Amino acid sequence: MDLKQIHELIKIVNKSNIGEISIEDKDGKVTIKQKEEAPVTVAAPLHQVYSTQAAPQTIAVPAMLAPTVDPKIDNLITIKSPMIGTFYLRTSPDKPIMAEVGTEIAPGKVVCIIEAMKLFNEIESEIKGTIVKVLVEDASPVEYDQPLFLVEPA
C-alpha cells in the first residue's frame, strides 16, 4: 500500500464515524485510529444574578424555599450500605418485608439483604430504634456507603 492510498484512507476515516480500521495486504498491515477527544464536561451554575447597581440588594426568598429545621431530623441515625450490590427488603418475593417505616429494630436484627456477585448478604442493625424512612426502593442497585434507612434511636 502506498502513501497516497494511506492518506485517502485517513480522509475517509476522519469523515466517517469509524473509530478504527485495519487493512492488511502482501506488503504489510496498516491500522488507522481516529483520535479520541476527551469528553468535555460543562457545569453551569444553578443561579446567576446580574446587577447593574453598585449597592447590595436584598432578595426575598419565598417561605417554601427557605430552609426549615426539623428537630426530629437532628437525632436520626442513618444505616448505610456496607457494599455495592442490589438492595432487597425481603428474603424472597413471597416472604414479608424485613424492615419498613415503623419497624422496631435492635442490634443483630436483619433489616435488608444486599446481593453482590450472586451472594446474598444479610445486613444487620447495629442500633436499637424505629425505622422512620426507607431511602432505597426494593430490588434497586446501591453503592458503598449509600444511606438505606433513617432510624430514630430508642
pLDDT (tens digit per residue) in 15-62 = 776 777 777 777 777 777 776 554 544 454 444 444 444 444 444 444
pTM score = 0.53
11 domain-assigned = yes
Domain hosting 79: range is 73-153
Residue 69 scores a pLDDT above 50: no
Number of domains in the chain: 2
56 domain-assigned = no
How confident is the model at residue 8, as a pLDDT?
76
Do 93 and 21 lie in a common domain? no
Mean pLDDT of 120-138: 95
17 domain-assigned = yes
21 domain-assigned = yes
Sign of CA dihedral 39, 83, 74, 150: positive
Do 139 and 89 lie in a common domain? yes
39 domain-assigned = no
Do 24 and 96 lie in a common domain? no
48 domain-assigned = no
